[in-house]
Amino acid sequence: MDRPLGEHIGTLERKLNLLSAQIMEENDTTQRNKLESELRAVESALTLYRSAFEIENRISRKDDHAEHRA
């Protein structure tokens, strides 16, 4: 990964918002189904990236805490 997790999360959140708006405006059922499928994929990826971000932060805090005790 060339970008930090926070950037990936931001990109996915923007995509999520865009897809949500497109779904609301779409009248064609086939196209709406495609958009909803893409939305679910983005939601899944966002969940994974947020979990990774949380783990990364926990590890970072533990490392910081260990440095202060040393």
What is the predicted pLDDT for the residue at 62? 81
- Structural domain harbouring 29: 5-69
pLDDT at position 46 over 60:
yes
Bigger pLDDT: 32 vs 65: 32
**pLDDT mean over 5-33:** 97
Cα(9)–Cα(1) distance, rounded to whole angstroms? 13
Region class of 4: left (phi > 0), else alpha (psi between -120 and 50), else beta: beta
pLDDT at position 63 over 60:
yes
Domain count of the fold of the chain: 1
What is the predicted pLDDT for the residue at 28? 98
